[in-house]
Structure 1
Amino acid sequence: MSKSFERYQKRKLISSYFSVVLSIALVLFLLGVLGLLVLNTKKMADHFKEQITVSVFLKDEAKQVEIDQLQKSLAMADYTKQAVFVSKEEAAEQHTEAIGENFIEFLGYNPLKNSIDVQLKADFVSPTQIEEIAETIQEKDYVEEVSYDKPLISLLNDNVKKISLWILVASGIFAFIAFLLINSSIRLSVYSKRFIIKTMQMVGATKRFIRRPFLWTNIKLGMLGALIAMIGLAVTIYYVNDFFPELTLLKDPTTLALLFAAIFVLGVLISFISTFLATQRFLNLRTDDLYY
């Protein structure tokens, strides 16, 4: 009978530890995913910004030397990521593929212009800066027109600001929820041992002596939960990087190392604080209150 009870208590203890570790791991994993999203918000925003193309249309009388010089100067400019020359013939082929019809046969001539497509660096993609760049390029005598999607740029910048703000707000809220969930799991674990705490206290054990094994046990559980969360996050990052290589998640090891370190520290810190508060509560309870 005694051995059966001991096995039951052991299974109950393992089950309690398992639930604590699992809850810590899940919460820290989700927190890590959100942290990854926060750290890569600018990178994702930059990726979309750098898809914006400024088209520099050239006059028919523009000389090849002038075109080459303009392309080289644009390619070397601080604001340029890439500058590609597109001949009117290439533009006609692209347009034909897009509409599914050869418009040159219908018109009898090619109305398109030679152009240079400029992709800007993300830091320069704003309505004001692009307007200044366009005005500078437009000063060239052989430039017909500088064209870009003004409404799209304004919309993109506004949305990036809104999304960044909401991600930060969501991160703060989720971090608070994470603390509450981990705190709740640890508190339930300590609650199941409230009678042991009170018994030790009644025989003269100090609060520090009683608290120490609870702190150490739950800190170890926090470490284990953090390690599981880090493994799950590493697998997630690997597969996300495979699907979205343009985010280059694995090319920034310092940021990833800081993220994993933050997850580990959070696991330990939240476990310590939650255990300290939970044990302190039961240490201060009267014996009669333990039953409620």
Structure 2
Amino acid sequence: MASSYDKFQKRRLITSYFSAVLSVFLVLFLLGALGLFVINSKKLADNFKEEIAVTVFFKNEATDSTLTAFSNELKTAKFVKKAVYVSKEQAAKNHSEVVGEDFISFLGVNPLQNSFDVYLKADYVVRDSIDRIEDRLRKNEMIGDVVYDKQIVKLVNENIQKISLWMLIISGVFALISVLIINSSMRLSIYSKRFIIKTMQMVGATKAFIRKPFIWTSVKLGMIGGVLAVIALIALLLWIDNANPGLGVLDEPIATGIILLAVFGLGVLITFVSTFFATQRFLNLRTDDLY
């Protein structure tokens, strides 16, 4: 009978530890994933901005030397991320593929113009900067027109500001929820041992002596949960980088390392503080209040 009871208690203890580690792991993983998203949010926004093209159309009078000179000018311009030359023949071919018919054979002439698709650096994808760049480009007499989607530029910048604000709010709320969840898990774990705490106190053990093993056990559970969360976050980063290498999620090793260390440290800190106050609460209770 005693052997069966001991096995039951052992299984119960393992289940309790497993639940505590699982709750710490899940909360820290989600919090860490949110933190990684926050530090990479600017990069994601910049990546999207740099996909918006400013198309520069040249007049038919523009010679090859004019186009070459303009291409060289773009290579040295500080606001240019990249530039792609699209000849009128290539533009006609692209248009025919989209429309599904050869419009040149119908018109008898190619009405399209040679152009450059200019992709700006993210810091310059704002209305004022693009307007200044447009004014500069139009000084070239061979340029017929400069076109870009003004509405998209406006929406992108407005939405990025809104998203950044909401991400800060969500991060704060989620951090608070994380603390409360881990705290509740630790308190429940200590609650199941409240009679052991009171028994040790009744035989003369000091509060510090009673708290020490409970705190150390909880901290170890927090460390295990933190290590698992860090491993899972690293795996997540590697998967995202492998699936979308252009995002460069591994290009910020210092910031990423700080997030991972913070996740691990938070697991240890919260379990320590939660266990300390939970044991203190039961140490201060009268025996009758335990029931």
TM-score, normalised via structure 1 length: 0.96
Alignment of 1:72-221 (within 5 A): 72-221=72-221
SS of the aligned residue for 1:251 comes to coil
Q: Distance in 2 between matches of 1:72 and 1:141?
A: 17
Q: Deviations over 1:167-212 (max 9, x none)?
A: 2211111111111111111100000111111122222222211111
Q: Distance in 2 between matches of 1:275 and 1:107?
A: 81
Shift of 1:275: 0.8
Q: Deviations over 1:236-256 (max 9, x none)?
A: 222222222211223333232
Shift of 1:104: 1.1
Report the more deviating stretch, 99-108 or 214-223.
99-108
Q: Distance in 1 between matches of 2:100 and 2:184?
A: 62
Shift of 1:39: 1.3
Q: Distance in 2 between matches of 1:247 and 1:175?
A: 26
Shift of 1:3: 2.4
Shift of 1:85: 1.7
Q: Distance in 1 between matches of 2:243 and 2:7?
A: 48
Q: CA RMSD in A?
A: 1.3
TM-score, normalised via structure 2 length: 0.96
- Structure 1 residue ranges without an equivalent (≥5): none
Q: Distance in 1 between matches of 2:65 and 2:190?
A: 80
- The AA in structure 2 aligned to 1:90 is Q
SS of the aligned residue for 1:117 comes to strand
Shift of 1:26: 0.9
Aligned to 2:68: 68
Aligned to 1:238: 238
Report the more deviating stretch, 3-12 or 41-50.
3-12
SS of the aligned residue for 2:160 comes to helix
Q: Distance in 1 between matches of 2:251 and 2:42?
A: 15
Shift of 1:103: 1.4
Q: Distance in 1 between matches of 2:68 and 2:122?
A: 25
Q: Does 1:14 align with 2:21?
A: no
Q: Distance in 1 between matches of 2:29 and 2:245?
A: 22
Aligned to 2:275: 275
Q: Distance in 1 between matches of 2:15 and 2:251?
A: 40
Percent pairwise identity: 55
Q: Which aligned segments of 4 or more residues in structure 1 are displaced greater than 4 angstroms?
A: none
